[in-house]
Chains A and B, each alone.
Chain A
Amino acid sequence: MSTPTVKGILQSIAAGETTARDWVEQSLRAIREVDGRLKAFLLVDEEQALAAADRIDRAKMYQNAPLRGVPYAAKDNIVTRGVRTTAASRILENYIPPYNATVIDKLQQAAAVMVGKTNMDEFAMGSSTETSAFQKTANPYGEDRVPGGSSGGSAAAVAAGLVPFALGSDTGGSIRQPAAFTGCFGLKPTYGRVSRYGLIAFASSLDQIGPFTRTAEDAALVLNAICGHDPLDSTSSREPVPNFADGIDRGVKGVRVGIVRHLPEEGLEPGVKAAVNRAIQQLEAEGAEVVEIELPHMEYAVATYYLIAPAEASSNLARYDGVRYGRRAEASSLLEMYERSRSEGFGMEVKRRIIIGTYALSSGYYDAYYKRAQQMRTLIRQDYERAFEACDVIAMPTAPTTAFKLGEKLDNPLQMYLNDIYTIPANLAGLPGASVPCGFVDGLPVGLQLIGRPFDEATLLRVAHAYEQVRDFAWPKPVLGVAE
């Protein structure tokens, strides 16, 4: 059986050829077979998944549910009622949430079946999934390579064919970069498009939940199910929600694709650049109009992000104090309990960011660091507003390199941060972004990134879909996985 898509599973179940149980069993079997080495999952709940599948197969009410019987995995920073949720941190090692994230409730209503929770960088802070307190996830296309991060477990699970879709979160590229590194489709919706209720907060003005899938069309189907205003998230948007799958196959004739003049190219691998350029040429051959745009402040995006995100994180992570939930260290005074619990519970990357953020917000440094970063954020946002007067989507690489080796950048945080150069600006400006597989270099996947106007995921998906129909590179089988 070739690796199923969400669409394929839905059609097969609707036609009565297969059941939810068949697909959930297949997914669980693949996980048992592969995940011992891949280590994409932090938790797999076979019993609950099978029970849910049987319920869906039996009950009439699910017959027209939009994701009926489709197995999926969720990043472990999305809370699940009664199912341990750790954000890959020791401080939440034993946390059993008493409630569901809105996206989990919505997927339940859509009759999708969660099979497990995936590994990630601790509190989503990282670009390789190596800062997880529990395990290192391999890249399905090279066991000694990182899957990217922070949503590396979700990306690896989809790329290896263990689940047809998975949820991730993207604060500075944490969906798009792992999608690029593992050869799957990743979508970061517009800020506010998907409710963040129940997403363990990292940087609240940047965080956004989105799907990993095999195709753009599958991402449209998942986005349909998870998006929309949520009274429980006051930053979720009231923008009208279209059916994202409608018109996805309209092609790119007349669509203006912006390419960045003077794109910062330091560290950009020639093979990555060539694959991305070829993808853009193919879009042009399909009728897209390629135009040059300028993003003059892009070179400041990494510095801006690595002040704003840690500042927000230092505030968000203040809640982990060992009082109401999470790890508590033995101590004789309250202050000592706070300090010990946090020091034992957080890993180095999290401590590093809390300290940077606290420093950037502290009196005497606020104006020099945090405020300047917020001002630069304005200029970056305005760059995009201007660019979108001339084009409909912007195309560039998702990451400057293919998947690097496990351990390669772990001791050099700044080098790790610089890898995020192309993904960060979309978060600062709140824009939707996607990564589409566009080739392989030395056996490792390359991603083409598309960035769209606020709330115009439809155009992004349409361009990505058009490209998927014409891409013609040889797609190797993953070393780890059942995908074909």
Chain B
Amino acid sequence: MKITDETVRHVAKLARLWLHPQELSQLVPQLNDILEYAATLQSVSLDGVEPTSHPFHEVNVVRPDVPRESLSREEALRNAPEADQGMVRVPAVLEGGGGA
């Protein structure tokens, strides 16, 4: 199954990526090549095989919930592109600016 410009644009949107039309025309054939190659997995019978999400048997890890020292607010904000009054500042969350 071939993927189209439209599929890639949709997936990019899901991934919060904006693609330049030039990037899109480069990506579509490359992604088709890669997915066609990945489709070799469709030819193998995998019925009843347990999926592996992790190389070794994993157990849940817990620890006592004890407060400990962490980064200061100042340190935590040092890499923020924009900070204001000890908080991260971002553009308007709701479009239109007129409130909900």
Contact = CB atoms under 8 A, between A and B. Distances in A.
Given A372-B46, A414-B37, A454 B15 contact: no
A351 B93 CA distance: 25
A355 B17 contact: yes
A414 B91 contact: no
B100 interface: no
Contact of B51 (A321, A358, A374): A374
Contacts of B95: 333, 335
Contacts of B8: 355
A343 interface: yes
A324 interface: yes
Contact of A338 (B16, B34, B71): B16
Interface residues of A, number: 72
B91 A331 contact: yes
Contacts of B50: 375, 378
B68 to A, nearest CB: 11
B37 A328 contact: no
Nearest to B13: A339
Nearest to B39: A303
Interface in B65-100: 71, 75-76, 78-82, 88, 90-93, 95
A98 B71 contact: yes
Contacts, number: 170
B33 interface: yes
B42 A372 contact: yes
A362 B15 CA distance: 10
B30 A375 contact: no
A176 interface: no
Interface in B24-54: 26-27, 30-31, 33-35, 37-42, 44, 46, 49-54
A68 interface: no
A194 interface: no
A324 B92 contact: no
B17 A368 contact: no
A371 B51 contact: yes
B30 A359 contact: no
A376 B55 contact: no
Contact of A343 (B19, B27, B40, B56): B19
Contacts of B49: 375-376, 378-379
A285 interface: no
A359 B51 contact: no
A303 B18 contact: no
A192 to B, nearest CB: 7
Given A306-B34, A306-B38, A324 B16 contact: no
**6 A-B pairs closest in CB distance:** A430-B55, A374-B51, A325-B79, A328-B81, A234-B61, A339-B18
Given A303-B37, A378-B52, 11 more contacts: A205-B54, A299-B40, A333-B92, A333-B95, A334-B90, A337-B90, A352-B27, A359-B7, A369-B38, A375-B50, A428-B52
